[in-house]
Amino acid sequence: MNIIKRSGIEVTFDAVKIEDAVKKANTSVEENQRLSDGQIGVVVENVTRLCSKLKHSPNVEEIQDMVEEEIMKQKTYKLAANYITYRYKRELVRKSNSTDEQILSLLECNNEEVLQENSNKNPIVNSVQRDYMAGEVSKDITRRFLLPPDIVDAHEQGLIHFHDADYFAQHMHNCCLVNLEDMLQNGTIISETMIDKPRSFSTACNIATQAIAQIASCQYGGQSITLSHIAPFVQVSREKFQAEVRQDLEAQGMNPSDDLVARLAEMRVLREIKQGVQMIQYQVITLMTTNGQAPFVTVFMYLNEVPEGQTRDDLALIIKEMLLQRIQGVKNEQGVYITPAFPKLIYVLEEDNIEEGTPYWELTRLAAKCTAKRMVPDYISEKIIKKLKDGNCYPCMGCRSFLTVYKDETEQYKFYGRFNQGVVTLNLVDIACSCGGDMEKFWQIMEERLTLCRRALMCRHERLKGTPSDVAPILWQNGALARLKKGETIDKLLYGGYSTISLGYAGLCECVRYMTGKSHTDPEATPFALEIMHHLNDTCKKWEAETNISFSLYGTPLESTTYKFSRCLQKRFGIIPGVTDKNYITNSYHVHVTEPINAFDKLTFESQFQELSPGGAISYVEVPNLQDNVEAVLSVMQHIYDHIMYAELNTKSDYCQVCGYTGEINIISDVHGKLIWECPKCKNQDQSKMNVARRTCGYIGTQFWNQGRTQEIKERVMHL
């Protein structure tokens, strides 16, 4: 059994240290008020037993709470009072400079929580450590100066989660849809260098990747670009190549036909498309932003986003090449092709590509092959999203955050160039457990927590107000999001629906189970789940009407927070079967990962909750290796097209560097009960000698996960 120290270091549980602490406290009171040796033994034994029953490694604060309670049970109240006073004084000392131990432990790479905080950051690398150091300082400033104490307390207790506190001290927003069209067609400035409209497809790709890197360093969330914005530059290259080919042939004394010129030029076009797509893929993967990781970028592939004709055919060529290169993968250090985390790909299923015989059916088959091998692309149904978004089809920002529908001053729909102000997530499970099953009390506590969330979200909004465009010129002045003047604030972009701000929610499944005794998939319990969702949506609409700020309900993608929430719930309410008995809680509205359900029923069931999560939602199905069964992938894709807005298939494509095994690397428990990864062939357990890719929050992670998320991955059932 292990414990987690305040610095985040995980060490072996030692009951002697508890005994020593109690004995020291014992000497602080008169002899007639002290515990006997036998009573001390009972305290230590009871605390040890309580720790062993937990489903996670306890932290120091949890153990001290147990010690405090056990001392009280021995009716030595003076000793208990002294123990509480001592803890309080030590807490004051720690708060006077709360970052030192945390920073030192991450520098020494022995902070277990930081090591597994982000599945796409390597905490050993200097740039990542620098980002984490800055993050610790930002979190400390945020806790002590920038947020009201009750919001900080609610965050630390796990009642809510104030996302990305490590970036809150700066005036930074969350995620965005990049207006690459504006930047490419009208020129931009990158690092104080004027970039004119590109004169070839390859140059457009190069500018796009440079912009992606700059944007990633100016915000803390995901960004999305669409291939539609670079597709017009294929024709620019085509016309250039046609002129060059004709000139070359005429220089040799030939009089080439238009057909010959076109055919020779097209060969060069295809070669340039391949090189341009390769540039996007490899630069995104190899670029290191200021936060110590590759840019979190999503690439949108939507044929109907451009007019029918040459431009659409060119877009199809780009999409085809993007899929072919992702199927191939990228080489690891041993030269073996593996699954990369980024860029994330989204392919739109539409009338012209969803059935055999449609114009772009072969492109859809290629997408299915890519999903079977590399887990991407994910799929948006044009038919369903248009029903939910006033006839519009557009990408999410990053992994799932969707903008609300918005029209500009000319009454034109606008999505690219917009952004999200930030997220605060509501722990629905805690509301249920706090009310003890009393439905009237449930809604009362719900209102109290929502009021808290609104205040926390307004802190985010107020933090962005007054931000001058100069803090991130590429975003606010040079076209990625706006064309503001120097010195002009971004305030006008925070109101009227131009940007969104997100109320997240987590644990709907466990919440409903506690209140009804049934899964939210049970027809008797589903109405209550939907009632909660409607209430959250109505609350967002009410807030928007009162503030002119676009509040939107968001199905939160918990990563490390799933473990935090579960530990907080267990500390507050103990182990409740089916509710708090895991080291994780369920993301947003999802069906519990352990619940048997087939892929088609799962997607159909979850579609009704996607409709009620306008600020962001994604559903998934767990499937086995389907590389030899692409027809099964296609059948799921066609079901997505008919039933749900946004979904993905989770396949397995791991690699063991020791024995060369490819497939699924397993999760097992070691002798201490800790979950670890093991190759099923050679039993290799060295994480540094394996490549594992799993989707955890709508995007693929490749740097492993904390114990809570690892348990969730281990317990997932197959849906196909």
Q: How many CB atoms lie within 10 A of CB 141?
A: 15
pLDDT given for residue 366 in this prediction = 98
Kind and range of the H or E element at 223?
strand 223-226
Tens digits of per-residue pLDDT, 395-454? 999 888 999 999 999 999 999 999 999 999 999 999 999 999 999 999 999 999 999 999
Tens digits of per-residue pLDDT, 370-398? 999 999 999 999 999 999 999 999 999 98
Q: Please confirm whether the linkage preceding 377 is cis (ω < 30° from 0).
A: yes
Q: Using CB atoms within 10 A of its CB, is residue 324 exposed (0-12), middle (13-18) or buried (19+)?
A: middle
Q: Does residue 62 register a pLDDT over 70?
A: yes
Q: Please confirm whether the linkage preceding 295 is cis (ω < 30° from 0).
A: no
* 42 φψ region: left (φ > 0), alpha (ψ -120 to 50), beta (else): alpha
List residues with catalytic annotation. Answer: 174-175, 397, 399, 401, 420, 554, 559, 698
- Residue appearing with tokens 């609300």: 404
Q: Which of 620, 600, 618, 598 is nearest to 610 (CA)?
A: 618
Per the prediction, the chain carries an average pLDDT of: 90
Ordered DSSP codes for 462-511: HHHTT-BGGGSHHHHTSSSS--PPTT-BSGGGGSTTSSEEEEEEE-HHHH
> Which band of pLDDT confidence, cut at 50, 70 and 90, is reported for residue 615?
very high
Sign of CA dihedral 173, 101, 87, 45: positive
Q: Does residue 53 register a pLDDT over 90?
A: no
Domains in the chain, CATH or no CATH each = 2-146 (no CATH), 176-388 (3.20.70.20)
pLDDT given for residue 8 in this prediction = 62
DSSP 218: T
Structure-model confidence comparison of residues 693 and 317, the more confident one = 317
Q: Give dist(CA 686, CA 78) in Å, integer.
A: 50
Could you tell me what percent of the chain has a pLDDT over 70? 92
Which tokens go with 622? Answer: 């767990």
Q: Which residues pair with 190 in a beta bridge?
A: 193
Mean pLDDT across 229-257: 96
How far, in Å, are 167, 209, 224, 566, 693 from residue 119 at the CA level?
Answer: 18, 23, 20, 19, 9
pLDDT given for residue 708 in this prediction = 83
pLDDT given for residue 457 in this prediction = 98
- Residue appearing with tokens 């509205």: 589
Q: What angle do CA 598, 379, 610 make, to 5 degrees?
A: 65
Q: Which of 513, 497, 710 is nearest to 614 (CA)?
A: 497
Residues in CB range of 140: below 8 A, 6 or more apart: 98, 99
Ordered DSSP codes for 331-399: E-TTS-EE----SEEEEEE-TTTSSTTSTTHHHHHHHHHHHHHHS--EEEEHHHHHHHTTT-----BTT
pLDDT given for residue 97 in this prediction = 53
- Residue appearing with tokens 């932003």: 289
Which tokens go with 675? Answer: 């979950």
Three-state DSSP at 224 gives strand
pLDDT given for residue 703 in this prediction = 72
Q: Give dist(CA 169, CA 189) in Å, integer.
A: 26
> Which band of pLDDT confidence, cut at 50, 70 and 90, is reported for residue 112?
low
Sign of CA dihedral 398, 403, 407, 412: positive
Between strands 297-301 and 344-349, the pairing is parallel
> Which band of pLDDT confidence, cut at 50, 70 and 90, is reported for residue 321?
very high
Which runs of E-coded beta strand occur in 291-342?
297-301, 330-331, 337-338
Q: Give dist(CA 654, CA 681) in Å, integer.
A: 12
Mean pLDDT across 109-127: 57
Residues in CB range of 15: below 8 A, 6 or more apart: 44, 47, 48
> Which band of pLDDT confidence, cut at 50, 70 and 90, is reported for residue 127?
low
Q: How many CB atoms lie within 10 A of CB 44?
A: 21
Q: Which residues pair with 195 in a beta bridge?
A: 188
Q: Does residue 291 register a pLDDT over 90?
A: no
In this structure, which amino acid lies at residue 167?
A: Y
